[in-house]
């Protein structure tokens, strides 16, 4: 029997519907830059960062961290309210590793973000598994009692060879343990994965989904690998060491992942976007809505949906 995914013709669980069901109306995220760095760049956990990470820490649309949070928030909110005048908002700390400060500084920052506006219904924080000490999880737990906390955790792949190649700087156990600790406190976990990493094949990407199905996660963001200017990945790409996925390949693999994914997991993203000025390849990712439409079209053509092959 076909699963119930109500967002128009979508055949997967959308973030938009999930938030509307939870809060009663549209919720949009407001990216904020808290001036974080990353332990995988500064030598604490690794040097140089993940090979695809842009100088902005994969937060290319984020505001200047030197601007007060209030100013960052108002600028983005003003733009988004034109599109959704009656929406709630959720501050979103995205760039770099957003739990990589002492717990006192995190408390101050998160508390400030949560009081920027009375329309705020929660907080979204993107981080790494190795930047989540017990006391930081205690803080998130305490905030989660008062509001809604969504913790985004990068995984990218379960293949240890790929993880070493892309210089992730943590292993799968670190990721799994972090998911377990967050779920023990009832904090929602949204995982990031990347399709098209160098030398990965379809089996690798499907294995990543199978592993996630074995964990208690609430959301997933699927990205295509972006080759950005001034990254080690750019050098590898220019040397022709690996091939990027075509749009058709990406769509095909992503649909297969959706078919295998636990139907309870909310799909927050099915493709990423990057600023045109710093994106080297693949050019097709710039047309995000075309990619989304192609995914929808293929799901309809195959008459399939999220979780059809799960369990």
- Binding residues for ligand SF4, rule: CB under 6 A, are 38, 40-41, 49-50, 53, 57-58, 96-97, 128, 154
CB of 278 to ligand SF4, least distance (A): 14
CB of 54 to ligand SF4, least distance (A): 8
Which residue number, 149 or 155, has a Cβ lying nearer to ligand SF4?
155
Q: Please, is 145 exposed, middle or buried when counting C-beta atoms within 10 Å of its C-beta (0-12, 13-18, 19+)? A: exposed
Q: What is the DSSP string of 35-85?
A: ----TTTBSSS-BS--TT--TTSS-TTPPPTTS-HHHHHHHHHHHHHHH-T
Which residue number, 41 or 77, has a Cβ lying nearer to ligand SF4?
41
**206-243: b (≥16 Cβ within 10 Å) or e:** bbbbebbeebebbbbbbbbbbbbeebebbebbeeeebe
CA within 13 Å, CB half, 243? 6
Which residue number, 57 or 196, has a Cβ lying nearer to ligand SF4?
57
Which residue number, 49 or 196, has a Cβ lying nearer to ligand SF4?
49
CB of 48 to ligand SF4, least distance (A): 8
Among the listed residues 1, 19, 3, the one whose alpha carbon sits nearest the alpha carbon of residue 268: 19
For residues 201 and 207, what is the distance between their CA atoms, to the nearest angstrom? 10
For residues 39 and 164, what is the distance between their CA atoms, to the nearest angstrom? 16
Which residue number, 72 or 97, has a Cβ lying nearer to ligand SF4?
97
Which residue number, 71 or 161, has a Cβ lying nearer to ligand SF4?
161
Residues 6+ apart with CB under 8 A from 57: 36, 37, 38, 41, 49, 95, 96, 97
Which residue number, 11 or 168, has a Cβ lying nearer to ligand SF4?
168
* Helices 103-114 and 134-146, axial angle in degrees (round to 10): 20
CB of 129 to ligand SF4, least distance (A): 10
CB of 226 to ligand SF4, least distance (A): 11
CB of 140 to ligand SF4, least distance (A): 18
CB 256 within 8 A of CB 207: no
CB of 106 to ligand SF4, least distance (A): 16
Which residue number, 9 or 64, has a Cβ lying nearer to ligand SF4?
64
Which residue number, 51 or 205, has a Cβ lying nearer to ligand SF4?
51
For residues 2 and 23, what is the distance between their CA atoms, to the nearest angstrom? 26
CB 77 within 8 A of CB 29: no
CB of 203 to ligand SF4, least distance (A): 24
CB of 223 to ligand SF4, least distance (A): 11
Residues 6+ apart with CB under 8 A from 211: 158, 172
């Amino acid at each position: 029997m076909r699963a119930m995914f109500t967002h128009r013709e979508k055949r997967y669980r959308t973030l938009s519907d999930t938030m509307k069901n939870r809060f009663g109306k549209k919720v949009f995220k407001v990216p904020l830059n808290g001036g974080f760095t990353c332990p995988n760049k500064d030598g604490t956990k690794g040097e140089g960062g993940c090979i695809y990470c842009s100088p902005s820490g994969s937060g290319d649309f984020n505001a200047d961290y030197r601007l007060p949070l209030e100013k960052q928030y108002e600028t983005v909110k003003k733009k988004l309210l034109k599109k959704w005048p009656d929406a709630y908002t959720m501050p979103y700390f995205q760039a770099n590793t957003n739990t990589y400060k002492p717990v006192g500084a995190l408390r101050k920052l998160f508390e400030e973000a949560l009081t920027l506006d009375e329309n705020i219904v929660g907080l979204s924080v993107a981080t790494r598994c190795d930047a989540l000490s017990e006391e930081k999880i205690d803080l998130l737990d305490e905030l989660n009692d008062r509001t809604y906390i969504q913790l985004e955790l990068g995984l990218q792949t379960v293949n240890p060879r790929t993880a070493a190649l892309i210089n992730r700087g943590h292993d799968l156990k670190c990721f799994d343990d972090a998911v377990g600790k967050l779920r023990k406190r009832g904090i929602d976990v949204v995982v990031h994965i990347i399709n098209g990493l160098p030398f990965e094949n379809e089996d690798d990407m499907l294995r990543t989904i199978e592993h996630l199905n074995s964990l208690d996660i609430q959301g997933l963001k699927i990205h295509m690998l972006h080759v950005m200017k001034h990254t080690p990945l750019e050098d590898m790409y220019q040397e022709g060491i690996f091939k990027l996925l075509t749009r058709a390949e990406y769509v095909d693999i992503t649909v297969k992942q959706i078919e295998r994914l636990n139907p309870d997991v909310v799909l927050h993203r099915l493709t990423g976007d990057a600023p045109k000025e710093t994106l080297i390849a693949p050019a097709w990712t710039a047309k995000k809505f075309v990619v989304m439409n192609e995914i929808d079209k293929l799901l309809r053509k195959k008459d399939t949906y999220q979780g059809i092959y799960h369990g």
